[in-house]
Amino acid sequence: MEQARRFVRLSEALTLAVMFLLLARPTFAQVDTGAILGTVKDPSGAVVPGAKVTLTNEGTSFSISTTTGPDGGYTFTPVKIATYTVDAEFQGFQKASHPHVTVDVQQQVVVDFTLQPGQVTQTVEVTGEVPLLQTQNASVGQVVGSREVNDLPLNGRNFTFLAQLTAGVTFGQEEGRGLNASGSFTANGTRPAQNNYLLDGIDNNIDLVDFLNGTAYVVLPPVDAIQEFKVQTSDYSAELGRAGGAVLNAAIKSGTNQIHGSAWEFLRNDKLDARDFFEGTRGEYRQNQFGASVGGPITIPHVYNGRNKTFFFGDYQGTRIRQASPWVVTVPTAAERGSGFTNFSDLIPAQTCSHTDVLGRTAPCGTIFDPATTRPVIDSSCPLDSNGKPTCFVREAFAGNILPADRLDPNAIKVLNLFPAPTSAGIFNNFQSDPVTKNNANSFDVRIDHNFSEKDQMFARFSYLDNPQLKPGPFTGVADGETHSFSPSLINEARLGLNRIGTGRLQPFGNDLSDLPAQYGIQGIPQDALNGGLPAFGIGNYAQLGSNAFLVSQEFNSTVQFTENLTKIYHAHTFKGGFEFQHIKFSTLQPPWSRGEFDFRGQYTSIPNNQDQSTGPAMLLLLPQKATVPDGVDNLGGSNAVFASNIANTDDRRNYYGTYFQ
Euclidean distance between CA atoms 467 and 368, whole angstroms: 48
Note the pLDDT of residue 594.
75
Task: Please tell me which residue, 352 or 468, carries the higher pLDDT value.
Answer: 352
Let me know if the fold of 7-15+140-325+436-507+547-593+648-661 is the same as that of 30-125: no
Q: Is residue 640's pLDDT more than 70?
A: no
Percent of the chain with pLDDT over 90: 20
* Under 8 Å between Cβ of 72 and 571: no
Q: Is residue 529's pLDDT more than 70?
A: no
Euclidean distance between CA atoms 358 and 366, whole angstroms: 18
Q: Is residue 610's pLDDT more than 70?
A: yes
| Cα of 629 vs its chain's centroid, Å | 56
Mean pLDDT of 607-630: 77
Burial class (CB in 10 A: 0-12, 13-18, 19+), 210: buried
Which residue in 540, 599, 610 sits closest to 395, CA to CA?
610
Q: So what CATH class is 7-15+140-325+436-507+547-593+648-661?
A: mainly beta
Note the pLDDT of residue 31.
64
Euclidean distance between CA atoms 559 and 655, whole angstroms: 10
Boundaries of every domain in the chain: 7-15+140-325+436-507+547-593+648-661, 30-125, 330-428+605-643
Note the pLDDT of residue 4.
34
Percent of the chain with pLDDT over 70: 76
Q: What is the pLDDT of residues 224-237, one digit of tens each?
A: 888 888 888 887 77
**Domain covering 30-125: architecture:** Sandwich (2.60)
How long is the chain?
662
